[in-house]
Amino acid sequence: MISHTLEKENIVQLKLNLNSSLQELPGWEIYMDLNSSVEELAKLFEQKPLLPGILLVQDQHYVGMISRRKFYEYMSRPYSLALFSNKPIEKLYNWLQPESFIISENTTIVEATQIAIQRSSELVYEPIVVALESGKHRLIDFHQLLLAHSQIHVLTLAQLQQATEQSRIATTNLRLLQDNHAQLVQNEKMVALGKLVAGVAHEINNPINFIAGNLDYANSYIQDLLALINLYQKYYPKPKIEIKNLIEKIDLDFLIADLPKVLNSMKVGSKRIQEIVSSLRNFSRLDEAQKKAVDIHEGIDSTLLILQHRLKENSKGQGITVRKEYGNLPLVECYAGQLNQVFMNIISNAIDALEEAMVNSHSPFSSCLLPSVFIDAPSEAMVKADSQLTRQKISDAGVGRPHWMIRISTKALDTGYVEIRIADNGLGMTEEVKQRIFDPFFTTKPVGRGTGLGLSISYQIVVKKHNGFLECISAPGEGTEFVIKIPIKV
C-alpha cells in the first residue's frame, strides 16, 4: 500500500536550481484501494499527521485523490462519520466527487506554482497530484511547493545580484580599459609631440647659439668702428663732399645713437629664443623616462613659457595675469616630463575657462578661490607676491580693473609632500561637471576643442604614477582650484 514516503524531508536540504522540476520535490506515494474502508483512511490520516491526502486506486489504476482537508471538512459534519465509517472509500469518493489537480513531473517548480496558485480559491490549498513518467502518481503538499518556490526565488535574487555584480565588474574593467586606452593614446601623442618638440628645439639651439655668441663680437666690432669714425670726425672735421653727402644720406648721428639699441634688442631677442629652446627641452624631457630629482618650479615656468602666447592680451585688451606664489620647495623625485604634462593640462584648462568667461564678457569673479580680486599691480609685485598688495581688494583700492588671473602657489608640507595649487577666477563648474571631470573622454567643450583626456591623464599621472593626490575645488561663479600633492620621494 505504501510505496514511497518522505515524511520528514526538510525542504531546505533540497538542492534546487532555477529550472528544478517537480521531480526533485519530496512527495507522498501512499495509495489506497477504493474498496478500503473510510475508517481505515481515518486511521491513516491520524497516524500520519503530515499526509496531505490519499491517492486512490482501483485494480492498480489511479482513480483520484481525497485530500486530508476535504476529508476532515466533510467528516466533521454531523453524522458523516457514522454514515461512512464502515463503507468503502468509493462511496465517500463518489459523494465528494473531489476535483484533483494533476501536473506532469517534468513541470518546473516555478511553472507548477504559477498554475497551482491560479486554482479557484476553494482548491488553492489542495495538494498537487504529480503524474510520474512511470505511470504512477505522487502527492505534493501545496505548502511544500510554495517553500520550494520561495527557495528558488531567493536563488534567483542571489543570481541576479551576482549577475549585477559581474556586470559591474565588467563595467569597471571596461572603464579600466578605457583609462588605459586613453592613457596609451595620450602617451603616444605626448611622445610624438615630445620628440617633435625636442627635435625642433635641438635644431634651433645651434643657430641661436651662433647668433647669441657672435652678437657680443658684433657689438665690440661695431663699438670699435664707431670709435674709429669718431676719430676721423675729430681729425678730419671737413670731409670731402662725397663723404659729407653720404653722412647726410645715412643720417649718421641717428645711426650712431640707434645702433646700440638695435644690438641690444637683438640680444634680448636671442636670449628669449634661448630660453624658449631650453623650456621646450625641459618640457619634453625625453631623456628622462626615469625618476629624477627635479625643481618643480622649473617645470611650471617652462609650461608657462610654452603657454605664453595664450596669456597675452587679446584685441579687446583682455589678458591673463599669472601670479606665482612659490614657496621653498626641495627637489622632488618624479617623472618630470609627465608632471609637466599635468601642469600643461591644468593650466590650459584654466586658460580655457578664463577665455570662455571673457567671451561671455563676465567680469572676473570677486568671490573666487583666489584670495581676492586684484588691482593692476606692477608685474614684479605679481611675481614676488607681495602679500600686502595682492590681498588688496578692488573695492578697497577703488581704482584699477580686476584681473583675469591664474594663481600658482607651491609649498612643502610637513607630511613629506609638496603641494601645488593652480587656481583661476573663471566660471567654475557645477557639481555634476565636477563629479565627472576625471572620467576619460568627459568634456564640456565643443567638438574639436576638448578631448576630455587632460584631467583623466593628469589623474593617472599624479595618483597612480606618483602616489599623489589630485583634487578639484570649484563652484559656479567661484572659480576653480586644482590641488596637486606629490610625495617628495615617490
Residues of this chain that interact with ligand ADP (CB under 6 A) are 345, 349-350, 353, 424, 426, 429, 433, 437, 442-445, 450-456, 480
With CB cut-offs between 5 and 8 Å by kind, which of ligand ADP, Mg ion, none does residue 437 bind?
ligand ADP
Is residue 127 a contact residue for Mg ion (CB under 5 A)? no
Q: How far apart are the first and last CA of the chain?
A: 83
| Residue whose Cβ sits closest to ligand ADP | 454
- Torsion-angle region of 452 (φ positive above 0: left; ψ -120 to 50: alpha; else: beta): left
With CB cut-offs between 5 and 8 Å by kind, which of Mg ion, ligand ADP, none does residue 445 bind?
ligand ADP
Cell of 124: 488553492
Q: Which CB atom, from 30 or from 357, has the smaller least distance to Mg ion? A: 357
Is residue 341 a contact residue for Mg ion (CB under 5 A)? no
Q: Which CB atom, from 62 or from 442, has the smaller least distance to ligand ADP? A: 442
CB of 453 to ligand ADP, least distance (A): 6
CB of 253 to ligand ADP, least distance (A): 54
Is residue 299 a contact residue for Mg ion (CB under 5 A)? no
Is residue 454 a contact residue for Mg ion (CB under 5 A)? yes
- Torsion-angle region of 447 (φ positive above 0: left; ψ -120 to 50: alpha; else: beta): beta
Q: Which stretch binds Mg ion (CB under 5 A): 24-32, 108-116, 327-335, 450-458?
A: 450-458
Q: Which CB atom, from 358 or from 453, has the smaller least distance to ligand ADP? A: 453
Is residue 349 a contact residue for Mg ion (CB under 5 A)? yes
- What is the C-alpha separation between 482 and 442, in angstroms, rounded? 17
| Residue whose Cβ sits closest to Mg ion | 454
Is residue 480 a contact residue for Mg ion (CB under 5 A)? no
Q: Which CB atom, from 305 or from 406, has the smaller least distance to ligand ADP? A: 406
Task: Please give the radius of gyration of the chain, using alpha carbons only, rounded to the nearest integer.
Answer: 46
Q: Which CB atom, from 183 or from 349, has the smaller least distance to Mg ion? A: 349
With CB cut-offs between 5 and 8 Å by kind, which of Mg ion, ligand ADP, none does residue 406 bind?
none
CB of 453 to Mg ion, least distance (A): 7
With CB cut-offs between 5 and 8 Å by kind, which of ligand ADP, Mg ion, none does residue 112 bind?
none
Cell of 74: 466533510
Q: Which CB atom, from 201 or from 353, has the smaller least distance to ligand ADP? A: 353
CB of 424 to Mg ion, least distance (A): 13
CB of 191 to Mg ion, least distance (A): 19
Cell of 439: 572620467
Q: Which stretch binds Mg ion (CB under 5 A): 81-89, 135-143, 348-356, 383-391?
A: 348-356
Binding residues for Mg ion, per CB under 5 A?
349, 454
